[in-house]
Chains A and B, each alone.
Chain A
Amino acid sequence: AQSVTQLDSHVSVSEGTPVLLRCNYSSSYSPSLFWYVQHPNKGLQLLLKYTSAATLVKGINGFEAEFKKSETSFHLTKPSAHMSDAAEYFCVVRTMNTGFQKLVFGTGTRLLVSP
C-alpha cells in the first residue's frame, strides 16, 4: 500500500533561515510526488512535483525538493524563509495501480516563521 509520512507536525524557523520539511513515502510502484501549500482559509496550491525526470525539483517561491529513492524521501527545502511562507504544507504521493491515479496525502506540516 502507498503511504506518506510527514515527520514533523510543526516546524518553527526565523525569517531568513533555511527551511526543511521532511517527507518519507512508501510505494509499490514508481511514484509521482507533490508538495502542496495551504494558506489560512484557502485551498491547496501546488508548489512542485516530481514525475521521474530530474531528481532535484524546483518549485514556486524558491522552494525545491529532492527525490531520493534509496531513502524513500522527498524533503522540501528553501534557503531563506520569508514571513509569507508561514502556512501548512502537504506531501502527496500519486500512484497508478488500477489504471487510475490514487493520491495519498500526508497529515501536513505547519511552518511557523518568526521575525
Chain B
Amino acid sequence: NAGVTQTPKFQVLKTGQSMTLQCAQDMNHEYMSWYRQDPGMGLRLIHYSVGAGITDQGEVPNGYNVSRSTTEDFPLRLLSAAPSQTSVYFCASSYSAGQWDSPLHFGNGTRLTVT
C-alpha cells in the first residue's frame, strides 16, 4: 500500500518557469490538499479538494492552480515560478472531508527551489 506519493522529490526552477507537482493516493480518499512548509511558519494550506471535480482555495492560493479529475490524483501547478515559492510542498489526503476524526496522510514532500 503506497499511501500518498509525491513526485518529484526535488526540483530547481528558474523564475518564470512553470511546472506541475504530482500527487497520487491509493486509499480512495475523498479529501486531498496541498500545503507549503516554510521555516517558523508551520504548514499553510494552498488548495484543497473534497472530491473529484471539486476544488477550492486555501490560505495561500496565489500563484498556484489545481484540478481533480480523478479521485486518485491532485496535481499542483505553478504557472510562473517566483523565488517566494521556494518551499517544501506536501500533499495530504484523508478519508472524509467532513468527518471530525479523519486524520491526514502525508506524502514525503517536494523540495522546490526557485532561482
Contact = CB atoms under 8 A, between A and B. Distances in A.
Interface of A: 9, 32, 34, 36, 41-46, 49, 51, 90, 94, 96, 99-101, 103, 105-108
B106 A43 contact: yes
B90 interface: yes
Interface in B79-107: 90, 92, 97-98, 100-101, 103-104, 106-107
Given A90-B43, A100-B50, A105-B43, A41 B109 contact: yes
B101 A99 contact: no
A96 B35 CA distance: 19
A49 B108 contact: no
B97 A43 contact: no
Interface of B: 4, 35, 40-45, 50, 90, 92, 97-98, 100-101, 103-104, 106-109
13 contacts: A32-B100, A42-B108, A43-B106, A43-B109, A44-B90, A44-B104, A46-B103, A46-B104, A51-B100, A51-B101, A94-B100, A100-B97, A105-B43
Contacts of A44: 43, 90, 92, 104, 106
B42 A43 contact: no
B104 to A, nearest CB: 7
For the complex of A and B, the 8 pairs showing the least CB-CB separation, nearest first, are A43-B106, A105-B42, A51-B101, A105-B43, A46-B103, A107-B42, A44-B106, A43-B108
Contacts of B35: 105
Taking each of A44, A45, A51, which has the highest tally of chain B beta carbons within 10 Å of its own beta carbon? A44
Contacts of B100: 32, 51, 94, 96, 101
Contact of A103 (B4, B45, B98): B45
Contacts of A45: 106
A107 B50 CA distance: 25
Contacts of A43: 4, 90, 92, 106-109
Contacts of B43: 44, 90, 105
A111 to B, nearest CB: 16
